[in-house]
């Protein structure tokens, strides 16, 4: 019989939070590009 591994609740929460911050960063990068025309405003 195969016993499924249990994942700690803290790890699940950490991964969800990491994903949400990554999505916010991606949207911010798109917004910066649309408003300034640069990927990283102020750099070159």
pLDDT of residue 23: 97
Tens of pLDDT, residues 1-44: 788 888 899 999 999 999 999 999 999 999 988 998 888 777 76
Q: What is the pTM for the complete model shown? A: 0.69
pLDDT of residue 5: 85
Q: Establish how many alpha carbons lie within 13 A of residue 29's alpha carbon, considering only the half-sphere containing its beta carbon.
A: 8
What is d(CA 24, CA 15) in angstroms, rounded to the nearest whole number?
Answer: 14
């Amino acid at each position: 019989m195969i016993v499924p591994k249990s994942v700690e609740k803290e790890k699940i929460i950490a991964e969800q939070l990491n994903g949400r911050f990554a999505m916010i960063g991606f949207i911010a990068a798109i917004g910066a590009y649309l408003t300034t025309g640069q990927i990283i405003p102020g750099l070159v």
